[in-house]
Amino acid sequence: MSHIAFPPPDPSILARRDAILAGLAAALPNGGLIVAEEERRAFETDALTAYRKLPLAVALPSSIDEIAAILKFCRRAGVNAVPRGAGTSLSGGAIPQEDAIVIGLSKMNRILEINLADRYARVEAGVTNLAISEAVAADGFFYAPDPSSQLACTIGGNIGMNSGGAHCLKYGVTTNNLLGLKVVLLDGEIVELGGAQLDSGGLDLMGLMTGSEGQLGVVAEAIVRLLPAPEGARPVLFGFDSAQAAGACVAAIIGAGILPVAMEYMDKLAIEICEAFAHAGYPLDVEAMLIIEVEGSAKEIDAELAKILAIAKEHGVKAVRECMSAMEAAQIWKGRKSAFGATGRVADYICMDGTVPTSRLPEALKRTGEIVAAHGLRVANVFHAGDGNMHPLILYNVNDPKEQAKAEAAGEDILKMCVDLGGCLTGEHGVGIEKRDLMGHQFSPADLAQQMRVRAVFDPDWRLNPAKVFPLAGRIAA
C-alpha cells in the first residue's frame, strides 16, 4: 500500500474513453496512438516504481502540430494529459493517472540544427541528453548538464525538471544552459521563448517553463547552449576516515576560491556497491570518498590539484588516487554515474534529493544516518557535495508494505531536515508526486498560492500533469 494519494479518477472522463480515443486518433493522422492495455503498461510508471497508474491512452506525436492538435483536443474535451520524455523521473513526475492520457515525446528525437559558430543546438524534445554532446564531441563542444541518466533521459524531461548533474558546480543546471524553447500551450497555441540569442527581453517565461514539471505546456523544441570542451579533465579520488572530514574538506576547497568542475561524495556503503558493480578502483577501507574533477591544460590541472591536495591533507585525507589515463577517468565516472543502478542490484531504494547549505553538510549527513537508523533501515549516500545536493538512497524491500512505509517516512524526515537546515526539498529531481505533500514545509500558503496563480494562467482547469507538485488540498484555479 502506498500512501501518496492520487486524485480519484474522474468517472466522466473514464466513461468517455471511446470518444476520447476517436478524438486522439483524429489528432494523430500518422498513427502513434496506443490503446491496448499491455502496451499502455509500459507507461504506467517511471523511475519511482513503487507507484503505478494505467493511463487512458498514450499519444506519441511526431510533430509539433500533432502536439498542438492533441492538447487542443484535451482542453476541449476536458481530458487530463501527462507529458513524458524517457520516463526516468525519480520523483514520479511522469507517472500518469487513470483519467489522463500520456503525451510521449519519444518520436520527436531529431537534432534539427547544430550551429557551432553561434554555439547552440536546436533539438526536438525527445532527443536524449547524451545525444547532444555526442553529436558535437568531435568538434570539441558539449552540452553541460549531465544527469546520471543522460544516456536515456530526454532534453524535454530535463527541461521539465530543470535537471542538473555532476558537473553543474561549474556549468550550472538546465535553466542556465538554454537559449530558446518552442512550447505548445494547452489551447494549441505554439509560442517561441528566447531564441538563438542570450537574454531576450520580456518576462523570462523560458525560466518559468524550466522546472515546471509539465504543468504549463509541452516543450516541443529547445535551443541549448553548446560549450567548448576543456583542454583536459582529471578526476581524483580522496578517501577520508569520516564523513565530517570529507564534508569539511569540501567547504574548505570552496572557501579557498577553488571551483572544481565537480565534487562528488560517496559514503562507505555507496563505495562498496559501486565498486562491486563498476570495478573503478575505489578505496574500500575509507568511510567517505570525494571524486574531485578539475579541468584545463595539464599544467593548470597539476597546479589546481596541488592546491586541493594541500587542503585535503589539512583535513586528514587517508587515500588519494589520481587516474593515469582517460580509461581510468571513465571508470571513475562510470562507478559514480551507475550508483543508482548498482544500488538497485542490491536492494530496492528510494532516492532523496534534498539540498542543504554546504556548511551544513556534515550535520546533514549525521542526521540522515540517525533518521534512517531510527526507522530500522540502511542508507547509502552518494551526492553532489560541491552544491550541497544530497542523494541518500534509502534501501528497503518494495514487496514489504511496512518497509515501504518506513522508507517513505524516513525520506520525509530527511527532506524536512534539509529544509530546516536552510535548504530545499529537491535540488534536481523535481517535486513530482513524491514531495508534493511536503511543499507546505518549505513554502508558506501565500508562496504556494502565488505559484498556483501563475500555474492557472497557463492551465486554469488543472489538466496538465494535475496530480503533481502542489498538495491536492487548497488548489487555486483561474
Partner 1 sequence: MTQAAAFAPESEEEAAAIVRDAAARGQKYDITGGRARAGLGRPRRRGANLSTARLSGIVFYEPAEMVIALRAGTPVAEVEKLLAARGQMLPFEPMDHRPLYAAGGEPTIGGIVAGNISGPRRISAGAARDSLIGVRIVNGRGEAIKSGGRVMKNVTGLDLVKLVCGAHGTLGLVTEATFKLLPKPEREATVVIRRLDDKSAIAAMTAALGSPYGVSGAAHLTPGMGREFARTFFRVEGFASSVEHRVGELIKLLAPFGAKHALVEEESRRLWRGVRDAEFLAEPRERAVWRVSLAPSKGADFVAKLGPAALAHFYDWGGGLVWLASEASRAAGETIRAALAPFGGHATLTRAPDELRESVDVFEPLSPALTKLTAGIKASFDPDRIFNFERMYRGI
The distance of closest approach from Cβ of residue 305 to partner 1 in the complex, given in angstroms and rounded to an integer, is 12
Instruction: Determine, following the binding rule CB under 8 A, whether residue 202 of this chain makes contact with partner 1.
Output: yes
Q: Which one of the spans 9-17, 57-65, 71-79, 417-425 is the region binding partner 1 (CB under 8 A)?
A: 417-425
Helices (H), 166-204: 168-171
The binder of partner 1 chosen from 316, 422, 471, 474 (CB under 8 A): 422
The distance of closest approach from Cβ of residue 174 to partner 1 in the complex, given in angstroms and rounded to an integer, is 9
Residue 477: Cβ within 10 Å count: 11
Instruction: Determine, following the binding rule CB under 8 A, whether residue 477 of this chain makes contact with partner 1.
Output: no
Instruction: Determine, following the binding rule CB under 8 A, whether residue 49 of this chain makes contact with partner 1.
Output: no
Residue owning grid cell 547509502: 380
Task: Tell me the one-letter amino acid at 82.
Answer: V
Instruction: Determine, following the binding rule CB under 8 A, whether residue 461 of this chain makes contact with partner 1.
Output: no
Q: Which residues pair with 141 in a beta bridge?
A: 228
Task: Tell me the one-letter amino acid at 30.
Answer: N
Helix (H) / strand (E) element for 223: namely: strand 218-225
Q: How far apart are CA 261 and CA 386, in angstroms?
A: 9
The distance of closest approach from Cβ of residue 298 to partner 1 in the complex, given in angstroms and rounded to an integer, is 10
Instruction: Determine, following the binding rule CB under 8 A, whether residue 244 of this chain makes contact with partner 1.
Output: no
Binding mask 346-375 for partner 1 (x = CB under 8 A): ---------xxxxx----------------
Residue 320: Cβ within 10 Å count: 15
Determine whether 244 is exposed, middle or buried from the number of CB atoms within 10 Å of its CB (0-12, 13-18, 19+).
middle
Task: Tell me the one-letter amino acid at 70.
Answer: I
Q: Which is nearer to partner 1, 147 or 239 (CB)?
A: 147
The binder of partner 1 chosen from 26, 457, 472, 477 (CB under 8 A): 457
The binder of partner 1 chosen from 114, 152, 208, 398 (CB under 8 A): 208
Q: Which residues make Cβ contacts (< 8 Å) with residue 416, sequence separation at least 6?
A: 438, 441
Instruction: Determine, following the binding rule CB under 8 A, whether residue 440 of this chain makes contact with partner 1.
Output: no
Binding mask 169-188 for partner 1 (x = CB under 8 A): ---xx-xx--------x---
Q: How far apart are CA 65 and CA 58, in angstroms?
A: 17
Task: Tell me the CB-side half-sphere exposure of residue 73, using CA atoms within 13 A.
Answer: 21
Instruction: Determine, following the binding rule CB under 8 A, whether residue 326 of this chain makes contact with partner 1.
Output: no
Q: Which is nearer to partner 1, 343 or 426 (CB)?
A: 426
Q: Which is nearer to partner 1, 27 or 166 (CB)?
A: 166
